[in-house]
Structure 1
Amino acid sequence: MYTYPIDYDQFTTDEIIAIVEFLALVEEANTTKIDPHVLSAKHEQFRRIVNSISLEKQIDRAFEKVSGFSIFKTIKKYK
């Protein structure tokens, strides 16, 4: 078990919930087959919330370090 690499002071509670749901979906996408439309919709929501390419990359690197799953590679695989 690990904690998600999120700066909890930077986001609202609703935004944190959406980010965690997206990261959990990335994990699920790497362990089972999921609907690519759902992943795409959650990814768009994640990008709107984070709203910074550098922060997206930072979260992706930190998430991959703790989980072994890359957001970028997962999205690319499902496109």
Structure 2
Amino acid sequence: MDYSYPLLPEWTTEEMIDVVAFFEAVEQAYEKGIQQALFMAKYKRFKEIVPSQAEEKTLCKQYEKGSGYIPYHVVKLAKASEPNRKLQLK
């Protein structure tokens, strides 16, 4: 991993950890798969920290630019999937 996660300085340490956990869940969906319910729990927490859709889009684009992983695709798949389904993107 040769990239950093997009974090904002006004977040608490706990919020930063939770945002990183969301981005790690995106990575997991691409690399080995993740259960839909687990991913959605991490996404829900991410949205508590980043409620603005514009800010979410900005952070996800920064992450995508550095990592090559696209959070939007994982979120879209997760929202359309059953809770017990494993999410896997390539």
Q: What is the root-mean-square deviation of aligned Cα atoms in Å?
A: 1.0
Question: In structure 1, what is the Cα distance between the partners aligned to 2:74 and 2:51?
Answer: 19
Instruction: Write out aligned runs for 1:34-73 (5 A).
Output: 34-73=34-73
Cα distance, 1:77 vs structure 2: 2.2
Gaps of 5+ in 1: none
Match of 2:18 in 1: 18
TM superposition outliers: structure 1 runs of 4+ over 2 Å: none
Percentage of pairs with the same residue: 33
Match of 1:2 in 2: 3
The structure whose Rg is larger is 2
Cα distance, 1:71 vs structure 2: 1.1
How many aligned positions are there?
78
Gaps of 5+ in 2: 81-90
User: TM-score, normalization: structure 1?
Assistant: 0.92
Q: Which amino acid aligns with 2:6?
A: P
User: TM-score, normalization: structure 2?
Assistant: 0.81
- 1:8-61 CA-partner distances (Å, limit 9, x unpaired): x12000000000011011001111121000001110110011121111000111
Asked if 1:27 corresponds to 2:12, the answer is no
